[in-house]
Amino acid sequence: MGWLIWWAVRRSAPTGLVGGVVVWLSTVVVGMIVRQLTDQGTATAFVIVSLVVTGVLLLGWRALALLLARRSRTRS
């Protein structure tokens, strides 16, 4: 869903940090909706863990890539 939202607005892949946030939050929201619809529950602790883990996985590499790109530009 996040990719579709980003693509509809920007017509490009969500490779940056802002695009990652859109993908991250929509992933968690859609995942929690699916869990509710299938009666698997969405306890507060589960939602928090889901936000943290998917945030690290979906945003961590983007933040690292941004940091490395900035660092290489300043050295050039």
pLDDT in the model for residue 76:
62
Q: What is the pLDDT of residues 36-64, one digit of tens each?
A: 999 998 999 999 999 999 999 888 888 88
Query: What is the span of the domain harbouring residue 53?
Result: 2-75
The pTM of the full predicted model, rounded to 2 decimals, is 0.74
Closest C-alpha to 60, from 24, 29, 10: 24
Domains in the chain, number: 1
Helix (H) or strand (E) holding 15: none
| Three-state DSSP string of 38-67 | CCCCCCHHHHHHHHHHHHHHHHHHHHHHHH
